[in-house]
Amino acid sequence: GENVEQHPSTLSVQEGDSAVIKCTYSDSASNYFPWYKQELGKRPQLIIDIRSNVGEKKDQRIAVTLNKTAKHFSLHITETQPEDSAVYFCAAKGQLIWGAGTKLIIKP
Amino acid sequence: KAGVTQTPRYLIKTRGQQVTLSCSPISGHRSVSWYQQTPGQGLQFLFEYFSETQRNKGNFPGRFSGRQFSNSRSEMNVSTLELGDSALYLCASSRLDRSSYNSPLHFGNGTRLTVT
Protein backbone atom coordinates (compact mmCIF):
# COMPACT_ATOMS: atom_id res chain seq x y z
CA GLY A 1 0.00 0.00 0.00
CA GLU A 2 0.93 3.63 -0.08
CA ASN A 3 3.32 4.72 2.60
CA VAL A 4 5.90 7.26 3.69
CA GLU A 5 9.25 5.98 4.86
CA GLN A 6 11.15 8.28 7.19
CA HIS A 7 14.82 7.90 8.11
CA PRO A 8 16.54 7.83 10.46
CA SER A 9 14.27 6.96 13.36
CA THR A 10 16.75 8.54 15.77
CA LEU A 11 19.39 11.13 15.00
CA SER A 12 21.93 12.41 17.49
CA VAL A 13 24.06 15.40 16.50
CA GLN A 14 26.46 17.74 18.25
CA GLU A 15 25.13 21.19 18.96
CA GLY A 16 26.06 23.46 16.09
CA ASP A 17 26.21 20.66 13.53
CA SER A 18 23.65 20.02 10.80
CA ALA A 19 20.86 17.44 10.78
CA VAL A 20 19.15 15.88 7.78
CA ILE A 21 15.98 13.80 7.84
CA LYS A 22 14.65 12.13 4.72
CA CYS A 23 11.21 10.93 3.69
CA THR A 24 10.34 8.78 0.70
CA TYR A 25 6.75 8.56 -0.49
CA SER A 26 4.95 6.32 -2.94
CA ASP A 27 1.87 8.29 -4.01
CA SER A 28 2.68 10.03 -7.29
CA ALA A 29 -0.22 12.45 -6.87
CA SER A 30 1.20 13.97 -3.68
CA ASN A 31 1.87 17.66 -4.15
CA TYR A 32 2.19 19.04 -0.62
CA PHE A 33 4.99 18.03 1.72
CA PRO A 34 4.97 19.40 5.26
CA TRP A 35 7.28 18.88 8.22
CA TYR A 36 5.97 19.01 11.76
CA LYS A 37 7.91 19.27 14.99
CA GLN A 38 6.59 17.74 18.19
CA GLU A 39 8.33 18.57 21.42
CA LEU A 40 7.88 16.23 24.35
CA GLY A 41 4.35 16.43 25.70
CA LYS A 42 3.27 19.04 23.18
CA ARG A 43 1.23 19.17 20.01
CA PRO A 44 2.80 18.79 16.56
CA GLN A 45 3.48 22.13 14.89
CA LEU A 46 4.23 22.89 11.28
CA ILE A 47 7.78 24.16 10.82
CA ILE A 48 8.07 24.22 7.06
CA ASP A 49 6.29 22.92 3.98
CA ILE A 50 6.91 22.71 0.26
CA ARG A 51 4.69 22.30 -2.76
CA SER A 52 5.49 20.20 -5.78
CA ASN A 53 6.22 23.13 -8.07
CA VAL A 54 9.19 24.14 -5.92
CA GLY A 55 12.47 22.29 -5.42
CA GLU A 56 13.70 23.96 -2.26
CA LYS A 57 12.44 26.27 0.45
CA LYS A 58 14.34 27.91 3.28
CA ASP A 59 13.34 29.57 6.52
CA GLN A 60 16.33 30.73 8.54
CA ARG A 61 18.10 27.58 9.80
CA ILE A 62 15.54 25.22 8.31
CA ALA A 63 15.22 24.09 4.72
CA VAL A 64 13.28 21.47 2.82
CA THR A 65 14.27 19.98 -0.52
CA LEU A 66 12.03 18.01 -2.84
CA ASN A 67 12.93 15.54 -5.58
CA LYS A 68 9.66 14.59 -7.26
CA THR A 69 11.31 12.24 -9.72
CA ALA A 70 12.84 10.18 -6.93
CA LYS A 71 9.81 10.77 -4.68
CA HIS A 72 11.69 11.98 -1.68
CA PHE A 73 11.96 15.14 0.34
CA SER A 74 14.33 16.09 3.13
CA LEU A 75 14.44 18.39 6.11
CA HIS A 76 17.72 20.19 6.73
CA ILE A 77 18.49 21.94 10.01
CA THR A 78 21.74 23.89 10.22
CA GLU A 79 23.56 25.18 13.30
CA THR A 80 21.46 22.97 15.55
CA GLN A 81 20.51 24.24 18.98
CA PRO A 82 19.19 22.49 22.11
CA GLU A 83 15.65 23.67 21.36
CA ASP A 84 15.73 21.68 18.12
CA SER A 85 15.49 18.49 20.18
CA ALA A 86 12.10 16.99 19.32
CA VAL A 87 10.39 14.42 17.15
CA TYR A 88 9.97 15.45 13.52
CA PHE A 89 7.26 14.08 11.24
CA CYS A 90 6.83 14.28 7.50
CA ALA A 91 3.59 13.69 5.62
CA ALA A 92 2.37 13.11 2.07
CA LYS A 93 -0.79 12.33 0.16
CA GLY A 94 -2.64 15.29 1.51
CA GLN A 95 -1.42 14.61 5.04
CA LEU A 96 -3.27 11.32 5.08
CA ILE A 97 -0.07 9.32 5.36
CA TRP A 98 2.71 10.17 7.79
CA GLY A 99 6.23 9.06 8.42
CA ALA A 100 6.94 7.24 11.68
CA GLY A 101 8.92 10.17 13.03
CA THR A 102 12.56 11.00 13.75
CA LYS A 103 13.73 11.71 17.26
CA LEU A 104 16.39 14.40 17.00
CA ILE A 105 18.76 14.66 19.94
CA ILE A 106 21.09 17.63 20.20
CA LYS A 107 24.17 16.86 22.30
CA PRO A 108 25.68 19.83 24.17
CA LYS B 1 -7.21 33.81 18.00
CA ALA B 2 -7.93 30.74 20.12
CA GLY B 3 -6.27 27.53 19.04
CA VAL B 4 -7.77 24.11 18.52
CA THR B 5 -9.42 22.93 21.72
CA GLN B 6 -9.86 19.28 22.60
CA THR B 7 -11.79 17.92 25.54
CA PRO B 8 -11.29 16.09 27.73
CA ARG B 9 -7.51 16.01 28.09
CA TYR B 10 -7.48 12.61 29.77
CA LEU B 11 -9.84 9.68 29.81
CA ILE B 12 -9.70 6.29 31.46
CA LYS B 13 -12.17 3.73 30.21
CA THR B 14 -12.74 0.00 30.53
CA ARG B 15 -12.74 -2.48 27.70
CA GLY B 16 -16.12 -2.70 26.04
CA GLN B 17 -17.15 0.84 26.92
CA GLN B 18 -17.56 3.63 24.44
CA VAL B 19 -16.08 7.12 24.45
CA THR B 20 -16.73 10.46 22.78
CA LEU B 21 -14.02 13.04 22.21
CA SER B 22 -14.65 16.63 21.26
CA CYS B 23 -12.75 19.12 19.13
CA SER B 24 -13.36 22.82 18.52
CA PRO B 25 -11.37 24.14 15.54
CA ILE B 26 -9.86 27.55 15.10
CA SER B 27 -12.52 30.09 14.23
CA GLY B 28 -12.97 30.18 10.45
CA HIS B 29 -11.46 26.76 9.88
CA ARG B 30 -13.87 24.41 8.19
CA SER B 31 -11.81 21.25 7.99
CA VAL B 32 -11.27 19.01 10.99
CA SER B 33 -9.08 15.91 10.91
CA TRP B 34 -8.52 13.27 13.55
CA TYR B 35 -5.34 11.29 14.17
CA GLN B 36 -4.30 8.51 16.49
CA GLN B 37 -0.79 8.71 17.90
CA THR B 38 0.86 5.77 19.62
CA PRO B 39 4.52 5.38 20.62
CA GLY B 40 6.57 4.26 17.65
CA GLN B 41 3.61 4.45 15.25
CA GLY B 42 3.65 8.09 14.40
CA LEU B 43 0.35 9.62 13.41
CA GLN B 44 -2.35 7.48 11.88
CA PHE B 45 -5.09 9.31 10.00
CA LEU B 46 -8.60 8.49 11.19
CA PHE B 47 -10.91 10.76 9.21
CA GLU B 48 -11.45 14.27 7.95
CA TYR B 49 -14.58 16.38 7.90
CA PHE B 50 -15.37 19.43 5.86
CA SER B 51 -18.70 21.26 6.03
CA GLU B 52 -20.27 18.41 8.01
CA THR B 53 -19.26 15.81 5.42
CA GLN B 54 -16.70 13.09 5.89
CA ARG B 55 -14.30 13.55 3.00
CA ASN B 56 -11.79 10.86 3.79
CA LYS B 57 -11.39 7.91 6.13
CA GLY B 58 -8.30 6.08 7.23
CA ASN B 59 -7.85 2.38 7.71
CA PHE B 60 -9.59 1.96 11.03
CA PRO B 61 -12.46 -0.36 11.99
CA GLY B 62 -16.05 0.82 12.01
CA ARG B 63 -15.89 1.18 15.80
CA PHE B 64 -14.28 4.53 15.10
CA SER B 65 -16.71 7.15 13.88
CA GLY B 66 -17.06 10.87 13.84
CA ARG B 67 -19.20 13.77 12.90
CA GLN B 68 -19.02 17.49 12.37
CA PHE B 69 -21.59 20.07 13.33
CA SER B 70 -22.67 23.19 11.48
CA ASN B 71 -20.33 25.33 13.63
CA SER B 72 -17.41 23.09 12.50
CA ARG B 73 -16.97 21.51 15.92
CA SER B 74 -16.33 17.81 15.63
CA GLU B 75 -16.74 14.73 17.76
CA MET B 76 -15.12 11.35 17.52
CA ASN B 77 -16.65 8.21 18.96
CA VAL B 78 -15.04 4.88 19.68
CA SER B 79 -17.35 2.04 20.60
CA THR B 80 -16.55 -1.31 22.22
CA LEU B 81 -13.15 -0.12 23.40
CA GLU B 82 -10.17 -2.44 23.17
CA LEU B 83 -6.85 -2.26 25.02
CA GLY B 84 -5.17 -1.37 21.73
CA ASP B 85 -7.22 1.81 21.47
CA SER B 86 -5.11 3.38 24.20
CA ALA B 87 -3.45 6.32 22.51
CA LEU B 88 -3.25 10.07 22.15
CA TYR B 89 -6.03 11.27 19.86
CA LEU B 90 -5.20 14.47 18.08
CA CYS B 91 -7.56 16.77 16.30
CA ALA B 92 -6.37 19.28 13.73
CA SER B 93 -8.08 22.03 11.80
CA SER B 94 -7.15 23.78 8.60
CA ARG B 95 -8.59 26.44 6.36
CA LEU B 96 -8.89 24.12 3.39
CA ASP B 97 -10.27 26.93 1.32
CA ARG B 98 -9.33 25.32 -1.96
CA SER B 99 -8.33 21.91 -3.31
CA SER B 100 -8.06 19.48 -0.52
CA TYR B 101 -5.37 18.52 1.89
CA ASN B 102 -2.77 21.12 1.00
CA SER B 103 -3.13 23.38 3.98
CA PRO B 104 -1.09 23.45 7.18
CA LEU B 105 -2.70 21.62 10.05
CA HIS B 106 -3.19 23.25 13.43
CA PHE B 107 -3.28 20.60 16.13
CA GLY B 108 -4.97 20.56 19.48
CA ASN B 109 -3.25 19.24 22.59
CA GLY B 110 -4.98 15.91 22.21
CA THR B 111 -7.00 13.59 24.39
CA ARG B 112 -5.04 10.82 26.04
CA LEU B 113 -7.23 7.74 26.22
CA THR B 114 -6.30 4.83 28.44
CA VAL B 115 -8.28 1.63 28.13
CA THR B 116 -7.97 -0.82 31.03
What is the mean predicted confidence (pLDDT) over A55-82?
96
Whether residues B102 and A97 touch (CB distance < 8 A) is answered with: no
Chain B residue with minimum CA distance to A103:
B40
End-to-end CA distance of chain B: 37
Whether residues B104 and A44 touch (CB distance < 8 A) is answered with: no
What is the mean predicted confidence (pLDDT) over A38-52?
94
The residues near A80 (Cβ < 8 Å, ≥ 6 apart) are A13, A14, A15, A16, A17, A18, A19, A61, A104, A106
Task: Kindly list the residues of chain B whose beta carbon comes within 8 Å of any beta carbon in chain A.
Answer: 33, 35, 40-45, 48, 56, 58, 90, 100-102, 104-110
Report pLDDT for B17: 98
Gap between the Cα atoms of B73 and A97, Å rounded: 23
Report pLDDT for B101: 67
Looking at the predicted structure, is the pLDDT value of residue A89 above 90?
yes
Report pLDDT for B98: 53
What are B77-98's pLDDT values in tens digits? Answer: 999 999 999 999 999 999 865 5
Per the prediction, chain B carries an average pLDDT of: 92
Please work out, in degrees rounded to the nearest 5, the angle formed at the alpha carbon of residue A88 by the alpha carbons of B98 and B86. 90
- Pick from A68-82, B30-44, B97-111: least confident: B97-111
